[in-house]
Amino acid sequence: MHGHHVRTHAPPPRHASAAAVAVRVAGRSSALRRYVCRRRRLRHWPPPAHLRSLVQEKTKKLGFPASIKRRLGTLFHLNLNRTPASTFSSREKQTQVTCSAELGSLCGSMATTDDGGSWLLYLSLAAKCGGDHPHRLAGFLAVCAAACVVTCLLHWCFPGGPAWGRWWWTSRRRFGGTVIPGPRGLPVIGSMWLMTGLAHRKLAAAAERLRARRLMAFSLGETRVVVAAHPDVARELLSSPAFADRPVKESAYGLLFHRAIGFAPHGAYWRALRRVASTHLFSPWQVAASGPQRAVIAAQMVAALSSSASAAGREDVAVRKVLRRASLHNVMWSVFGRRYDLELDPAKESPETRELGGLVDEGYDLLGQLNWSDHLPWLARFDLQGTRARCARLVPRVNRFVGAIIDEHRARYPGPAVVDFTDVLLSLQGNDRLADSDMIAVLWEMVFRGTDTVAVLIEWVLARLVLHPDVQGRVHDELDRVVGRGRAVTESDSASLAYLHAVIKEVLRLHPPGPLLSWARLATSDVHVDGFLIPAGTTAMVNMWAITHDPAVWADPAAFRPDRFLAGGSSSEFSVMGSDLRLAPFGSGRRSCPGKSLAMATVAFWLATLLHEFELLPATDPARGVDLSEVLRLSCEMAAPLAVTVRPRRAV
């Protein structure tokens, strides 16, 4: 303790800039900056002697008021005012300690040894708020608010928006590299509007405007996102092991999908699930073995459309409900072993089918919406969109429905043979054996993912054929040549229907059901793509719609021309299974859709059956004409359900 008399000084003028004071004290000393940053974490760590001398020399030379000297002295363990420490009031000591703690908390995410400006913020705030007057607390809060605003603006000014700016300002010296072009959006929220409505079209327009078709960065709140719209970059991104995971949205987590194939993290558990599904549900021999059930459902579709068309006063047929119920029945047969008749009358429909259809529709709506809480975590506690509440109501219903089916299968297991995918899961042994909760998640996802894509794609194909009767006529001619009108189509005929396959591929090009490949990827480590550094934790997307509508990739991309896939006389030369990223609607790499072969076999066979039986004509009601407008939910669907007039082509 010093025995000198206590000197009092008036507080510094209010117009004095504390930041300027800090600059004058510290000059350009990197050692001083490092000390300030370290002291933020260790309040009582003693400063080196040369730093104490530096501060003492500069404060003496510049002649600061006593109040500022006292605050700097507290920070650097100096008695610049020659004031005995014992004479500081307890209130002053408490104010200094409280201020230091608040500053440490406030600046924790901003002051690092690599941030050359944060030490100024620390010293200036310390100089402003260490006093014992109420107006200084207001000043402290004002400076804090100003610092937050300035920080948000600095982050927002960076290409790609605030999430990319935050990463760049904290990691630029460690990583360096070229900046990925992209829209800045708005402070805090970034470019959230790009993912509303027809997101694939908005992203394509933004990439075109910024000349960032190959790779574009943007921010969804606090989420860094990149989107590729070029085949080469898409291949590089999808084939990289760094993108083997998916970002799990709150709705996906709430709906149990984090324990299923779609969203489970890459690892032993995910590989086991993928292996089981590929072997027992999606393998070539299993796809062929399930052909008879698809034939039964195809016959039910023909009967339902014929019945609907012949009903009194109902010449126009809405095909969407028929296609969705057929897809749902097909999945229920494969996954649960349930077989139902296809009924369009709700009074005659199976209660189990009706209940599961409602569960699937609610799940689609939840997964398809943009949940702001996924990208602005501080909104999660409020659940503004009701996502958490809706998931909490839906999941118990899913558990009861799927759990009851599992219990039925377990009661008769072991049966004479494995007949469905539920039996397969119950038969797993050892490390592959699943808990009931995981089994429910896997089965629920199989039903969920298998119902939508087939129905959506067939509806788009039928709409295009109604608009292009010449193309429909060529399909009819091919069916008459390969199958004839004396028998029904079989799946073995599919390999000979080259033009029909070309039509399907052209519709996949114009209307990919998942224009952004449905679910994005997550970078698990820092990786370079197309010469740009993509840091770990970044969400990556592929805009397949932009690729399939790029005139540099496809000649005359807006035209409906199935013949483009008939080079050499066969559409089989162009694969849509992921090997050619010019058209990969089912994705590519580790996370590609495991059921793509089954989906394509189902679509081709059902389309061949419908077109063999019927000629499709425009609806008689002009208000129900074919409208190619889109709506993007989980898949990209027709905004207006397709209505057609069906005319039989042969006796059933």
> Which residues define the annotated binding site?
593
Q: Checking DSSP bridges between strand 316-318 and strand 223-228, what pairing results, if any?
A: unpaired
Output the known binding site for heme: 593
Residue 616, SS3 per DSSP: strand
What token pair was written down for 316?
Answer: 């126009």
Q: Checking DSSP bridges between strand 216-220 and strand 223-228, what pairing results, if any?
A: antiparallel
16 contact partners, CB below 8 Å, separation of at least 6:
none
**Eight-class DSSP state of 584:** -
CA atoms within 13 A on the CB side of 196: 6
Give bridge partners of residue 307 from the DSSP assignment: none
Contact 597, 606 (CB under 8 A): no
Beta strands in 536-611 (DSSP E): 539-542
The CA radius of gyration of the chain, in Å to the nearest whole number, is 33
Q: Checking DSSP bridges between strand 532-534 and strand 539-542, what pairing results, if any?
A: unpaired
d(CA 166, CA 224): 10
Q: What kind and span of H or E run contains 647?
A: strand 643-648
Dump the DSSP string for 70-115: HHHHHHHT--TT---GGGS-HHHHHHHHHHHHHHHHHTTTT--TT-
What token pair was written down for 37?
Answer: 């940053």
Backbone angles phi, psi at 222, to 5 degrees: -95, 5
d(CA 361, CA 354): 11
